[in-house]
Structure 1
């Protein structure tokens, strides 16, 4: 009788292990969308989209008019990572688009989207006292993604 219980326990354990290994052996190709924001080629903000909500505030109070802001958004579902029909927009606290930049489809490994800090400074002066935010959208992400609040 004890021999039968041992065999049943062994069979159940073997079945559970086999099912577990089988279930975890099928990995998804999908990872995480991520983005980096750099000022003059120095990364100042890096974020994975599904990370817990945090205060993503882009501090540009030390930026100069001639500086350049680079945004690199990587889609997890695309082989080379770059989206198509990409755009960056600045919105006010009510969700109104104040300015939008359209970018050509990326070729090669450099798919940074470059914005002149001077353009952002002009927007900030024109909309003093309002909370401004930077948003990304592409054909692969038509609803868009808020990247950061803007503090100039």
Structure 2
């Protein structure tokens, strides 16, 4: 009788270890904000946000035309933000331009503008930053930097 109890206790322990190992093997970022940036209909940048990153990704605009559209989709833990705004700032944190976007529901949550609207703002060979703010992130978060040296490409 003692060996049966000991065996069932060992089995329970092994089952607990196996279930724990399976559950902890998932590394999903549940509850994390995320954003995607599209150039026309092509995904060019996707990030998960837990806090402001130490390094900011550079948005690749090589070969972009002036009329090409950038569209940013920001997701707050599965929800769309309210009072959304995209700002362009210089490297010295000088605000160069703001776009405000209406509160929406549904699937079309993108915030769009043309490539030329960004590249025309900075000085030659300067990087500008794309900042997202909303009621959920009032201090804003830097999404990407863009090198304005590519403005010749986008102005043709």
TM-score (norm 2): 0.72
Task: Kindly state the Cα deviation for residue 49 of structure 1 after the two structures are TM-superposed.
Answer: 1.0
Q: Residue 135 of structure 1 is aligned with which of 131, 135, 151? A: 131
Task: Kindly state the Cα deviation for residue 131 of structure 1 after the two structures are TM-superposed.
Answer: 2.2
Show the counterpart of 2:31: 31
2:130 and 2:145 in contact (8 A); partners too: yes
Q: Deviations over 1:34-84 (max 9, x none)?
A: 0000000110000101387555001213111110000000001x5xx2100
2:34 and 2:76 in contact (8 A); partners too: yes
The alignment status of 1:86 with 2:84, answered yes or no, reads: yes
How many residues are matched?
Answer: 141
Evaluate the alpha carbon distance shift between residue 94 and residue 54 of structure 1 in structure 2; reply closer, same or farther with a 3 A threshold. Answer: closer
Show the counterpart of 1:62: 63
Unaligned runs of 5+ in 1: 1-6, 25-29
Q: Residue 109 of structure 1 is aligned with which of 107, 110, 126? A: 107
SS at match of 2:116: helix
Q: Deviations over 1:99-138 (max 9, x none)?
A: 01000012211100001112112113xx223321101010
Cα distance in 2, alignment partners of residues 90 and 63 from structure 1: 18
